């Protein structure tokens, strides 16, 4: 009896002292394995007399049950401690933002985003995109567009002129995307419906002007194209781009060498609280210029103004981006500051669509 009590105390002490499951398994094998101390005692029951078996059997079986129960309890305790340690080591702060997936990292520049928005809107109206070189001839940039000699746009304070070539011709960094209109009309027969987004260059720099900026122009040439069509296109564009249900517009007479008549276009807005909101309020904001294509421009492109007519418009992409997305200064657009781009940029998978929404 004394031996059983001592064995029990020794085994329970060993179980309690086991620091991990491996040590606990060693104790189990030494006690309950095939050649364990308790297993050896159980084997002796067969050699005992009925009286001895009746006396010692319950004691040995009880020892086995106590050791087995202690091992099970210790195993559960070790497993729980291991889980707590793992949870403590792998703890996650659920208040932190979820890391972005690799395909969502990076940002689309607002200029690129707005060009995509413009393309989506005008493509829905049946327009295609036309492109041309940034370096243009004097003829395509000025003369073909009915700019007379001595026009201020030809002066050095407004235009970047390149050094004369071997023929003595001085090319320019295009001051507008209008030369692409000329290229399109000279290479494609009407009807023509194109938009022309691209970089342009003028010698100017302040909070709302940079030496390099972006324009988008539109051109429609057909036999029946008229001011009513132009007005509808611009109204639908403004509603879609600024994402408002309605917008009021007013056309003010103006002058551009390449259109006749010409007009500046203002749209209704509200400036309350220092924030510009379109489609409401009693203020007006100029956003673009437009007009009917000048007959001289049509003639310079080989089109008969008695047979064809059309209209054109142009606006600054940077300017409408600033208006739509609340950007106060144009210069950070081109400073390559990643912090600015992370704030104003767009997710790479948010592709503008008239179905899902331009800025969804």
Q: Which residues sit in the known binding site for Mg(2+)? A: 260
209, 182 Cβ separation under 8 angstroms? no
Q: Note the maximum CA span of the chain.
A: 133
- Report residue 196 as tokens: 């022309």
Q: Cβ distance 178 to 145 under 8 Å? A: yes
Q: How many residues does the chain have?
A: 360
Determine phi and psi for 87, rounding to 5 degrees: -65, -40
Name the β-bridge partners of 192.
Answer: 221
Whether omega before 93 lies within 30 degrees of 0, making that bond cis, reads: no
Calpha distance 104→107 (Å, rounded): 8
For the record, the structure tokens of 169 come out as 């011709």
Backbone angles phi, psi at 234, to 5 degrees: -70, -35
**In degrees rounded to 5, what are phi and psi of residue 261?**
-75, 165
Report which secondary-structure segment, H or E, holds 225: none
Cα–Cα nearest to 276, from 328, 323, 327, 329: 323
- Would you list the DSSP string of 234-282? HHHHHHHHTT-S---EEEEEEEETTEEEEEEEEEEEE-GGG--EETSSS
Name the H helices within 155-289. 178-187, 227-241
Residue pair 26/52 in contact (Cβ under 8 Å)? The answer is no
Residues in binding site: 260
d(CA 106, CA 342): 8
306: which DSSP letter?
A: T
Quick one: tokens of 175?
């001051």
**Token code pair at residue 344:** 């104003």
What's the half-sphere exposure (Cβ side, CA atoms, 13 Å) at 150? 0
Collapsing DSSP states into helix, strand and coil, what is residue 260?
strand
């Amino acid at each position: 009896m004394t031996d059983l009590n001592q064995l029990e105390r020794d085994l329970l002490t060993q179980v309690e002292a086991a620091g991990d499951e491996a040590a606990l398994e060693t104790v189990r094998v030494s006690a309950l394995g095939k050649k364990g101390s308790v297993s050896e005692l159980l084997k002796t029951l067969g050699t005992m007399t009925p009286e001895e078996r009746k006396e010692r059997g319950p004691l040995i079986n009880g020892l086995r049950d106590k050791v087995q129960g202690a091992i099970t309890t210790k195993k559960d305790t070790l497993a729980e401690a291991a889980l707590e340690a793992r949870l403590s080591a792998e703890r996650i702060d659920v208040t932190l933002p979820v890391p972005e997936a690799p395909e969502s990292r990076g940002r689309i520049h607002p200029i690129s985003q707005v060009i995509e928005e413009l393309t989506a809107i005008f493509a829905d109206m049946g327009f295609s995109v036309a492109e041309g070189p940034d370096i243009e001839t004097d003829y395509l940039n000025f003369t073909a567009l009915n700019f007379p000699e001595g026009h201020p746009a030809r002066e050095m304070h407004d235009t970047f002129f390149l050094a004369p070539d071997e023929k003595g011709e001085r090319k320019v960094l295009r001051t507008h995307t209008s030369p692409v209109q000329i290229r399109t009309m000279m290479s494609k027969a009407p009807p023509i419906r194109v938009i022309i987004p691209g970089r342009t260059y003028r010698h100017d720099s302040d909070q709302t002007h940079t030496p390099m900026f972006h324009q988008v122009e539109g051109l429609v040439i057909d036999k029946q194209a008229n001011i009513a069509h132009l007005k509808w296109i611009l109204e639908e564009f403004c509603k879609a781009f600024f994402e408002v249900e309605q917008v009021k517009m007013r056309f003010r007479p103006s002058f551009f060498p390449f259109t006749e008549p010409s007009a500046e276009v203002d749209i209704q807005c509200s400036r309350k609280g220092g924030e510009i909101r379109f489609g409401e309020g009693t203020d007006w904001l100029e956003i673009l210029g437009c007009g009917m294509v000048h007959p001289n421009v049509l003639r310079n492109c080989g089109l008969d103004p008695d047979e064809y007519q059309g209209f054109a418009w142009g606006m600054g992409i940077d300017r409408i981006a600033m208006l739509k997305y609340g950007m106060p200064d144009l210069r950070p657009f081109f400073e390559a500051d990643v912090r600015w781009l992370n704030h104003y940029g767009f997710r790479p998978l948010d592709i503008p669509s008239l179905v899902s929404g331009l800025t969804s």
